[in-house]
Amino acid sequence: MVRSRAHLWFVAPAIILMIVLLIAPIFVAAALSFTDYNLGNPGFNWVGWKNYESLTKFSSYKKMFTASLTYVVVVVPVSVALGLGAAMLISSLRFGGEMYKAIFFLPVMATLLAMAIVWEFALHPVVGVVNDVLRTGCDIGWLHALLTGSWLGFDPAGSWYGSSCTEDFPVWFGDKKYALGTIAFIGIWQAFGFNMVLYLAGLTAVPRELYSAAEMDGASSAWERFRLVTWPMLGPTHVFVVTITSIRSFQVFDTVEALTRGGPAKSTYVMVYAIFEKGVKQNLLGIGSAITVVFLAFVLVLTITQVYFVNRRVHYS
């Protein structure tokens, strides 16, 4: 029998494109991370692990890892919990659910960069609406008493609100104590609508009869039905939502670029911003590639954890 080689011709274009477009760039980045190549230079030297060593040595890179990991650790659980809560509230509505869905999804549809301008304005220390409102509260006696805890007998100056009233409210993006938290808040605001939509899809897949069965079995409170049915039945959704949100949080860039540029004092110097600064703005491709490789490693670890450890436990059939 004559074996035709035609099949190779059919798969070759797809395989070549895949190698050139998807796999090769990663290997190029990995190779560059072992050089001191600067864009525009005629040549480069192999420097071995030097770029990676500097990642562990310099404090600005330590701050980079701290910023990225803190951002992920704050944004993921809060936006996942809010997304689940909003999805459960919306799915329990008889009407109006579509409207809430659209409203909560707005931040996802609007680009983060455009919304960053709005946040920059709202959180402006002098003309921003947020600090304006907070300042107004200082002059309203009962509100001041409530927020400072002085109605319970605490010293007003000892509380955050009380001391801010006397010393003025924070410069949200300009104070290293608040900058990352504020960026994380915007990240949560943006991500939870997306998680809500994923959870809404997950909730529609929970068989109604399971709730009836739980009720018959004696699960009389909403909390018991949630623990017995909703939470475990959303297992695959949890994995997906947590993975996607983690990866997207690692990728945070646009708010940082628009609002803080990594500052103040590198407190918001997240990984993708560092890649952008080193590799694009300063043309230091070697160190930029090294951060890229570490970044990909983080994402890869997350994905592999999902596939090999968690997925097996949440698919029940």
Partner 1 sequence: MASIGLRGITKTFGDTQVLNAIDLHIADGEFLTLVGPSGCGKSTTLRIIAGLEAQTEGDVEIDGAVVNHVRPSRRDLAMVFQSYALYPHLSVRQNLATPLLLRDLGFWERFPLFGALVPGRRKKIETLGAAVRDTAGTLEIEHLLERKPGQLSGGQRQRVALGRAMVRNPAAFLMDEPLSNLDAGLRVHMRAELSELHRNLGTTFVYVTHDQAEALTMSDRMAVMLDGDILQLGAPDDVYQNPQDLRVAEFVGSPKINVLPGECDSAGRLSCLGVALERRLAKSADGAISLGWRPEHFTLHPGETSECFAGRLVYKENLGADVYLHAALADGAHRLIVRVTPARAHDAAVGDALWLDPDAGRTMAFGPDGRRLALAEDDEAERVV
The verdict on 222 binding partner 1 (CB under 8 A) reads no
Query: Between 145 and 219, whose beta carbon lies closer to partner 1?
Result: 219
Mark the segment that binds partner 1 (CB under 8 A) among 28-36, 97-105, 222-230, 248-256: 222-230
What residues numbered 234-263 form the site for partner 1, per CB under 8 A? 235
Alpha helices in the chain (DSSP H): 6-18, 24-32, 50-57, 59-91, 97-109, 112-122, 129-139, 141-148, 160-167, 179-204, 208-216, 222-225, 231-233, 235-250, 254-255, 271-275, 285-305, 311-314
Q: How many CB atoms lie within 10 A of CB 7?
A: 9
**Cβ(273)–Cβ(205) under 8 Å?**
no
Work out which of 232, 296, 298, 311 binds partner 1, going by CB under 8 A. Answer: 232
Q: How far is the CB of 211 from partner 1 (least distance, A)?
A: 9
- Give φ, ψ of 124 to 5 degrees: -60, 135
97-136 footprint of partner 1 as x/- string (CB under 8 A): ----------------------------------------
Q: How far is the CB of 221 from partner 1 (least distance, A)?
A: 9
Query: Between 44 and 211, whose beta carbon lies closer to partner 1?
Result: 211
Q: How far is the CB of 208 from partner 1 (least distance, A)?
A: 9
What residues numbered 177-216 form the site for partner 1, per CB under 8 A? 207, 209-210, 212-213, 215-216
Query: Between 9 and 316, whose beta carbon lies closer to partner 1?
Result: 316
Three-state SS at 227: helix
- Residues near partner 1 (CB under 8 A), total: 20
Rounded Cα–Cα distance for residues 91 and 197 (Å): 11
Sequence-distant (6+) residues with CB within 8 A of 185 are none
Residue tagged 């980045």 (tokens): 29
Torsion over CA: 253, 266, 244, 100 (sign): negative
Rounded Cα–Cα distance for residues 191 and 79 (Å): 6
Work out which of 139, 218, 281, 312 binds partner 1, going by CB under 8 A. Answer: 218
What are the angstrom distances between the C-alpha of 115 and each of 121, 140, 259?
10, 31, 11
**Cβ(79)–Cβ(192) under 8 Å?**
yes
Q: Which two tokens stand for residue 274?
A: 């560092």
Work out which of 29, 67, 188, 229 binds partner 1, going by CB under 8 A. Answer: 229
Query: Between 5 and 208, whose beta carbon lies closer to partner 1?
Result: 208
Work out which of 219, 296, 299, 310 binds partner 1, going by CB under 8 A. Answer: 219
Amino acid at 2: V
Q: How far is the CB of 62 from partner 1 (least distance, A)?
A: 36
Query: Between 4 and 221, whose beta carbon lies closer to partner 1?
Result: 221
Query: Between 214 and 272, whose beta carbon lies closer to partner 1?
Result: 214
Query: Between 40 and 218, whose beta carbon lies closer to partner 1?
Result: 218
Query: Between 108 and 210, whose beta carbon lies closer to partner 1?
Result: 210
> Interface with partner 1 by CB under 8 A: which residues?
207, 209-210, 212-213, 215-220, 224, 228-229, 232-233, 235, 314, 316-317
